[in-house]
A and B are shown apart, each in its own frame.
Chain A
Amino acid sequence: NAGVTQTPKFQVLKTGQSMTLQCAQDMNHNSMYWYRQDPGMGLRLIYYSASEGTTDKGEVPNGYNVSRLNKREFSLRLESAAPSQTSVYFCASSGGGDYSYEQYFGPGTRLTVT
């Protein structure tokens, strides 16, 4: 049982390049999330998917797109990377819509945009 996995672990992009961050969970969770973590700002929600086939914007969605490929996988795409998107990105999942469910986090992707 791997929990939440993310690829890649590290990535360096040049301004304007695109890339997709991959996330998968094996806990049969309905909900999945993408966060970014910046020093002194905690985690901020980029996009989430409450169930397969649905996605919604979070607190900081600009410059990102997502795809909920199936129940297991939720990808985050940067179409034209900017230095302001340098951050650590975390994927998370949770069991359902009840807000008592804790979220389980992946190990993160460290992205640098030069």
Chain B
Amino acid sequence: AQSVTQLGSHVSVSEGALVLLRCNYSSSVPPYLFWYVQYPNQGLQLLLKYTSAATLVKGINGFEAEFKKSETSFHLTKPSAHMSDAAEYFCAVSGGNNNDMRFGAGTRLTVKP
């Protein structure tokens, strides 16, 4: 079975600062990894996904994530935070079949003016 740990339930950054949201995974098979974003009172929206094609994955809204097998990590970054990035972010891992996707507990990102 696979699992995901998101380090930090809350992250606060200033507008224009680097965003770094941490995700570590555990999987017995080569994982597929995802980052989703959830804005208040909405469903989850895919930001990006890793499917073994390239270790550095670029997503929407200027976000990117790097798959590091040696560290079992898939951290999400954005060079310059914008007020509109304030949301909750979920890392997820899938392995074996698509019916076994496991989500992390989420990280709430606050962006200060």
- Which A positions have Cβ atoms within 8 angstroms of B? 4, 31, 33, 40-45, 48, 50, 56, 58, 90, 92, 94, 96-108
Contacts and interface: CB of A to CB of B under 8 A. Distances in A.
Contacts of B67: none
Contacts, number: 65
B95 A99 contact: yes
Contacts of B51: 100
Contacts of A42: 4, 90, 103-106
**What is the predominant secondary structure among interface residues of chain A facing chain B?**
loop
Given A42-B90, A90-B43, 20 more contacts: A4-B43, A33-B99, A40-B9, A42-B105, A44-B103, A45-B99, A50-B99, A94-B98, A96-B98, A97-B97, A99-B95, A99-B96, A99-B98, A100-B32, A100-B94, A102-B49, A103-B98, A105-B36, A108-B41, A108-B42
